[in-house]
Amino acid sequence: MDNSHAFTTYWSGQVPFVASFALQQLRLWVSTNQWFSGHDHDAWFEIPSETLNSLQADYQQQWGQLGHQMLTRQPFSFDDRRFASGNWSEPMFGSLAAFYLLNSSFLLQLLDTLRIEQEKPRQRLRFLVEQAIAASAPSNFLASNPDALQRMVETQGASLFTGLMHLASDLQEGKMRQCDSGAFTVGVDLAISPGEVVFENELFQLIQYYPQSESQYQRPLFIVPPAINKYYVLDLRPDNSMVRHLLEQGHPVFLMSWRNFDEELADTSWDDLIEHGVIQALQVTRAISGEPRLNCVGFCIGGTLLSSALAVLAARDDREIAGVSLLTTFLDYLDTGPISIFVDEELVAYRERTIGGQGGAVGLFRGEDMGNTFSLLRPNDLWWNYNVDKYLKGQKPIPLDLLYWNNDSTHLPGPMYCWYLRHTYLQNDLKSGELECCGVKLDLSAIDAPAYILATHDDHIVPWRSAYASTALLSGTKRFVLGASGHIAGVINPPAKQKRHYWTNNLITKNPDSWFKGAKQQPGSWWNDWFAWLAKHAGERQPAVARLGSEQYPPLEPAPGRYVKQ
């Protein structure tokens, strides 16, 4: 018998109850977690013995092979970027990573065998297990991370001191910063497209931008950004600013800048954001431009707010809209992706009592909480990698404008947030046509204007099939385009960089997968396709305006304005 076979035989005898032990731990976890109260836990763990035996046999074989590789001091190699450096090829650290990956894979396979018929409990348990797996990686700890140890030696301990300073700063802010707070300055190297604030109230400022072309289209472009983060995701640096590119195409651009809500505005409702936010901004844009038919653009929840406002206006017999562009926007919340695991009646009712005004108390939903939650949906990409680089290695994050914006979160007023959470993520009745909003029935099918609907293939915040569902709710002609990448990077994709691709199909089918099957992949940025669509609905070209604002709405201050800096 060779040494390899002897080692495998020995260790397979020492690990006979791996599957049973793991199941016991999962059962204990489930029984003590309130997420799973009211479910028949015992039925979940009735797994055929042959299934467990097969899993355990595969595990023991791989366990033995890794053990032999470690004892014979063979180098390790990994596709996982957490263990990509040469330091992890050494037997001591490499074996830690290899056994960690084996155990992680085994646990996830075991999870898939559980007889959980309902989707939400299954998603919740998988989320918890994936969080535990991500947190327990050997790369996350100084003593078991050879890269961090090497850097500590090379810097004579300075990396540890710097890491502690980074940790203290993040704890003070209440969030894991993915970009240093001093990497950019809004109004200096971000959000620098020239313009003027031409209107403001307590909820928003309206920015009108200076032309960047000799002639402009007749119809202005009115943009509603997300209220969750600040508007300048659409106006980052000049080379990737959507605002600047639209101006260069000849579109007059008006854009809302939402306020970062504070305690004084904590009682603001969804109706307030529609009536005194989007609708008022739209009417001011009409008044300044003298053009009643606007091209309207909404991004993420900005698209949901815009669509709600247009439905309210339609109920008031105001349908003067040239076109609607919805970028990674929910109207039908049929599949809300990983975020759905957090939302249930208990959570929503708790928020309504504590910040939503139903228990008498109003407050804010803090941006840091939402930012941390979204980061933990992708723990290895948006959380633990920064823990390693910042705290263990003492390195500053790479200065990326998108990540800087992502950390510049805003607070939401409790009543508005609770109304949104209940009628979208929980009940999905925003599309029902029966909800009261601003004194009328909110009927999305009353929006009878040409619509350009963009989704992104890898979006974990607005899954693309849910964005596609908007094609069945709106009444005008529709064009659906699917971009590559995720929720932000897939949208902010300027043509000059020739990055990524997108899919088009002129036929809108009932089923999104049928649409995708017939779609053609196009190289480069979806912006070119959108610009061509916008041009068809923008009216005639005319000389560019010489002055911004109007006699009724004179410029108040230069863009980007005060609100975005709060």
What type of residue sits at position 538?
A: A
The residue from 300, 418, 437, 438 that is catalytic is: 300
CA–CA distance from 521 to each of 462, 468, 481, 516, 526 (Å)? 21, 17, 10, 10, 11
Tokens for 297, please give them: 């653009």
**Closest Cα to residue 534, out of 333, 357, 323?**
323
CA–CA distance from 134 to each of 49, 175, 484 (Å)? 29, 18, 26
CA trace torsion 318, 302, 465, 245 (10° rounding) = 100
d(CA 149, CA 392) in angstroms, rounded, equals 8
d(CA 366, CA 352) in angstroms, rounded, equals 15
CA trace torsion 244, 249, 250, 256 (10° rounding) = -40
Look-up: residue for tokens 């091209």?
295
* Count of residues in the chain: 566
Partners of 409 in the beta sheet? Answer: 229
DSSP string, 137-193: -GGGSGGG-HHHHHHHHHTTTHHHHHHHHHHHHHHHHTS--SS-TTS--BTTTBS-S
**CB–CB of 484/292 below 8 Å?**
no
d(CA 188, CA 190) in angstroms, rounded, equals 6
Q: Please name the helix (run of DSSP H) or strand (run of DSSP E) that holds residue 204, with its range, or none.
A: strand 204-209
Q: Which one-letter DSSP state was computed for residue 557?
A: E
Tokens for 210, please give them: 């200076």
Let me know if 300 is a catalytic residue. yes
Q: Which one-letter DSSP state was computed for residue 409?
A: B
- Write phi, then psi, for 170 (nearest 5 degrees): -70, -40
Look-up: residue for tokens 């690990």?
15
What type of residue sits at position 173?
A: E
Q: Which one-letter DSSP state was computed for residue 219?
A: S
**CB–CB of 564/186 below 8 Å?**
yes
User: Which residues have CB under 8 Å from 60's CB, separation 6+?
Assistant: 8, 11, 12, 15, 18
Partners of 503 in the beta sheet? Answer: 482, 521
d(CA 207, CA 256) in angstroms, rounded, equals 6
Partners of 478 in the beta sheet? Answer: 451
Tokens for 508, please give them: 């809108």
Is residue 215 classed as helix, strand or coil in its secondary structure?
strand
Active site residues: 300
